[in-house]
Every structure is written in C-alpha cells, then in structure tokens.
C-alpha cells in the first residue's frame, strides 16, 4: 500500500491545490477501494483544509449510517452502477457538508458481488457545486482483488481531478 500512496501523492497534491484555490472540500465514499481513496488524500500535508471525511461503504449497514437515506432511495439500483455511485457521491457530500462528493462502487473479485457485477468493474462518481456530476466506468476484466483495488483507486482519483479541472 505504501508504494501506491507514494505513486498517487503527486496527483493528490494537484487535487489539493485545485480544492484550496477554490476554498472547497471533498467527502469520500470508498467502496471496493476499501479506504484507499481517503488514505491517498490524507497523504497531503494539511489535508484537513480539503478533506472533510468519509467512510468505507462495504455493507448495507455502513451505507445506511453514512448516507442516512431510506432503503427506497436505492430501489431498482444495482451496486457497481453509475446511478448507484452518483447517489453515494451526492449523499456523502451532503451528509458531510462538503462541496464535492467522490464515491466508488465496484466488484474487486475473489468472491461474488451481491448485485452480480463482474469482477473488475468499478464506477467512480463525482458530485460538485452547482449540480456538476460525472461518472467514470472501469472494467479491468481481472479477478485480482488487490490489483483491482489499486486500479479502482486510480480511476476514482483520475475522475475527481478531471471533474475539478472541468469545473474551472
């Protein structure tokens, strides 16, 4: 994990610079990434300036606590989908009082996903100020759990950096 955090550090420094320039903060809902997105952001000195917090959404209970949405809000949705990741990004942003919400929902492999999503599938979603939102799908086609967690984290951070740059 240290090698991954070291690799991602220059990117999260760029992300932090963009957030600081706007006076904005992000909240993160890590899914199949298991906390790696948040851990990456915490490598930035003074991360409290840009990172509100978040959590690992790996169970229905965690989802209920972190998002405080009624079960009906998820009706018809499947995990590892754009719709589901966007709902999570919006909920984590709103519940944590952040300007941006970043969520990842995926299936890392090694076991079956409750929604039937194939191993190696991840959706990163960003929701920002003024209704800005975007998703980014990644399908590695791999069942390598650790490699997928790393790939999903890179994908989410790439999606977030891209969203920040697009926001101007």
The total of structural domains in the chain comes to: 1
Instruction: CATH number of the domain at 62, please.
Output: 3.90.950.20
Residue 54 has pLDDT above 70, yes or no: yes
Show the beta-strand stretches assigned E in 83-149: 100-107, 121-127, 133-139
For residue 139, give its domain range. Answer: 2-166
Report the side by side order of strands in the sheet with 51-56: 51-56, 26-30, 100-107, 121-127, 133-139
pLDDT in tens, 12-41: 999 999 999 999 999 999 999 999 999 999
pTM above 0.85, yes or no: yes
Report the C-alpha gap between 110 and 166 in whole angstroms.
Answer: 36
Structure tokens at 165: 């740059």
Rg (CA), the chain: 15
DSSP state of 167: T
pLDDT in tens, 104-146: 999 888 666 566 677 899 999 999 998 899 999 999 999 999 9
């Amino acid at each position: 994990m240290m090698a991954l955090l070291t690799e991602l550090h220059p990117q999260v420094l760029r992300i932090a610079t963009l957030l600081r320039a706007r006076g904005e903060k992000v909240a993160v809902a890590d899914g199949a990434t298991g906390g790696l997105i948040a851990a990456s952001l915490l490598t930035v000195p003074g991360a409290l300036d840009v990172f509100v917090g978040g959590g690992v959404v790996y169970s229905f209970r965690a989802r209920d606590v972190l998002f405080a949405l009624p079960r009906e809000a998820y009706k018809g949705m499947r995990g590892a989908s754009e719709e589901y990741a966007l709902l999570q990004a919006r909920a984590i942003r709103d519940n944590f009082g952040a300007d941006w919400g970043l969520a990842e929902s995926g299936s890392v492999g090694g076991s079956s996903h409750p929604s039937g999503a194939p191993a190696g599938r991840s959706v990163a979603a960003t929701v920002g100020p003024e209704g800005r939102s975007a998703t980014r799908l990644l399908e590695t086609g791999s069942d390598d759990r650790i490699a997928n967690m790393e790939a999903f984290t890179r994908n989410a951070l790439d999606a977030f950096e891209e969203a920040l740059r697009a926001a101007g």
